Amino acid sequence: MLDFTGLLDYAFAERLYDSAYHGLEHWHQVEFNGLLLASKTGADITVVRLFALFHDCRRMDDAYDGEHGPRAVEFIDCCIAKKRLELDAERLEKLRTACRLHTTERQTGDITIDTCFDADRLDLGRVGIYPMEEKMATDAGRKIARKLAQAEVPVFHQREWIRNFRF
């Protein structure tokens, strides 16, 4: 069994940058979003939770950082080598792919990876950006983005709205 709390503490302590936008609060919201989406998509919950933890843990700053995904993959490999994380090969490859591609690809066709992408995108309100339905990778992500827009939820209130959302 994975020790998510211990892994979270380790990843947070080893982060490269203390981010106001891509830090612990964002990681928790991405995990919440991912679990909400996975309830509809059937995505692998373990991968979704680990993606939330790792995807932004190696950012250098809050501006454009096109290499933070690949650096996250290197950190995942470091965690594997240090025996802080054990995953079967299929889950590990999905986690690596989701982290590596989360800022460069819209959709992969793999429901778990695509759920990870949408979990992150649904937290764009924290930086004043409305998640766009057409940029979501899953039907569930599109539905939430569409309902956010229809309800005209102010960007900085989207986390609260999503936390109360029911399919």
Cα(121)–Cα(116) distance, integer angstroms:
9
Collapsing DSSP states into helix, strand and coil, what is residue 161?
helix
Nearest to 150 by CA among 161, 159, 139: 161
Least confident of 2-6, 37-41, 60-64, 131-135: 60-64
pLDDT at 1 over 80: no
Gap between the Cα atoms of 49 and 94, Å rounded: 12
> For the chain, what is the radius of gyration of the CA atoms?
15
According to DSSP H, which parts of 42-128 are helical? 45-54, 68-81, 89-101, 111-121
pLDDT of residue 124: 96
Integer CA distances (angstroms), 136 to 116, 130, 164, in order: 11, 12, 20
The domains of the chain are located at 4-163
Residue 48: Cβ within 10 Å count: 26
Q: Does domain 4-163 have CATH number 1.20.1060.10?
A: no
The pLDDT of 50-61, averaged and rounded, is: 91
Q: Is the pLDDT of residue 153 over 90?
A: yes
Rounded to the nearest integer, the mean pLDDT of the chain is 94
- The reported pLDDT for the residue numbered 116 is 98
